[in-house]
């Protein structure tokens, strides 16, 4: 399942870049994030509690930052296990472009799910994924002291 979106953030690209690499900022912005702990230079462990339709679970997993090109972009690769609820894994390519004093953040993400989650149907999973992405970027922009001008996440 592919999801993409574009967000205009009223902050310089360097500030947005620094925030993307800040574990405390990410923990604050990731919907349902209970823990995010650095385990290496570009690796983290995470615990995230989510409800998707009738299925609620806490996912324990890992996140790794790859293909890092400061301050232009990176790839975020993650996977998590939610016990009987199933698993989720995916990656997102995030790019940052300066437009005056603002930054345009664009992402393209691919996710796979299995277990009980997979039985919920692709429409519910897709709409929940879009909603979670929008919550993250709205929270991210708000934490930078701005309102994001969000191009709503789209299916690719």
Q: Tell me: the pLDDT tens digits for 60-110? A: 999 999 999 999 999 999 999 999 899 989 899 999 999 999 999 999 988
Q: Which residue has the higher pLDDT, 68 or 134?
A: 68
Average pLDDT over residues 48-65: 91
Contacts of 140 by beta carbon, 8 Å cutoff, 6+ apart:
9, 19, 25, 29, 148
Antiparallel, parallel or unpaired: β 55-69 and 73-81: antiparallel
Q: Is the pLDDT of residue 155 over 50?
A: no
Domain ranges of the chain: 2-155
- 60/46 Cα distance (integer angstroms): 6
Kindly report the pTM of this predicted structure: 0.85
Question: Which of 46-50, 98-102, 104-108, 140-144 is least confident?
Answer: 140-144
* pLDDT value, residue 147: 55
Residues 6+ apart with CB under 8 A from 72: 95, 96, 97
pLDDT at 133: 85
The arrangement of secondary structure in 2-155, i.e. its CATH architecture, is: 2-Layer Sandwich (3.30)
Q: Supply the mean pLDDT for the chain.
A: 88
d(CA 126, CA 132): 10
Residue 1 pLDDT level (bands cut at 50, 70, 90): confident
């Amino acid at each position: 399942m592919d999801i993409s979106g574009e967000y205009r953030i009223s902050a310089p690209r360097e500030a947005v870049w620094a925030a993307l690499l800040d574990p405390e900022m990410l923990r604050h912005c990731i919907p349902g994030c209970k823990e995010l702990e650095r385990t290496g230079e570009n690796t983290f462990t995470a615990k995230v509690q989510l409800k998707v339709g009738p299925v609620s679970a806490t996912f324990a997993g890992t996140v790794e930052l790859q293909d890092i090109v400061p301050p232009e972009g990176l790839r975020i690769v993650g996977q998590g296990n939610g016990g009987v609820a199933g698993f989720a894994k995916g990656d997102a390519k995030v790019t940052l472009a300066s437009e005056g004093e603002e930054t345009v953040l664009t992402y393209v993400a691919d996710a796979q799910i299995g277990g009980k989650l997979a039985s919920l149907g692709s429409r519910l999973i897709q709409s929940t994924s879009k909603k979670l992405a929008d919550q993250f970027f709205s929270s991210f922009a708000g934490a930078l002291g701005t309102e994001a001008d969000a191009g709503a996440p789209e299916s690719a």
